[in-house]
Amino acid sequence: MFLSSEPIDLAAFLGAARPSDGAVCVFVGVVRNESHGSPSVAVEYQAYGAMAESEMARIAESLTTEWPGVSLRIRHRVGRLAVGEPSVAIVATAPHREEAFAACRAADDVLMCTAQQTAVLVDAVTGRPVQVPGCRRAVVRAFEGADLEEALP
């Protein structure tokens, strides 16, 4: 399972190493208090579960094929997250650090551009939802023309 509405258990991710692994590379993305110059107080991640799970599994399989010997774990939060909360965790373990670093970085890069999810910030000044620009794909709701006041809890 790649998606979770529950907080990410970072300690569990650190226990992902196998006896043959000499490197554990961890990336944790957290919600920040601004995006593209606009202050924010929260972010809402949404995903079409089955499609996002399938795509994230494909990403993990593709990367472990590219870097044989690497084991990859990915967890992405869905729902409303406050500033400072972990939104994504990626762990790559491998016999050597070069492969672990490369696979972890590649997983984050690919995930940002292809995972089937969308992010909406809550503006700190107005309290209104603001679509996050970038390459994340919206598949749950088409926010254009929707009542954004009702889009966030």
H/E stretch holding 123 reads: strand 117-123
Contact 10, 88 (CB under 8 A): no
CB atoms within 10 A of CB 12: 12
Q: What confidence tens digit (pLDDT) does each residue in 106-136 have? A: 998 888 766 545 666 666 667 766 666 554 4
Whether 148 is in a domain gets the answer: no
| Residues 4-10, mean pLDDT to the nearest whole number | 92
Whether 94 is in a domain gets the answer: yes
Q: Is the pLDDT of residue 147 over 60?
A: no
- Greatest alpha-carbon pair distance for the chain in Å reads 53
Burial class of 6 by CB neighbour count within 10 A (0 to 12, 13 to 18, 19+): exposed
pLDDT of residue 137: 37
Band (pLDDT 50/70/90 cuts) for residue 50 is confident
Give residue 131's domain range. 3-9+21-143
pLDDT of residue 61: 92
Whether 152 is in a domain gets the answer: no
Q: What is the token pair recorded at 11?
A: 């300690």
| Residues 67-82, mean pLDDT to the nearest whole number | 92
Whether 15 is in a domain gets the answer: no
Assign residue 33 the CATH number of its domain. 3.90.1170.40
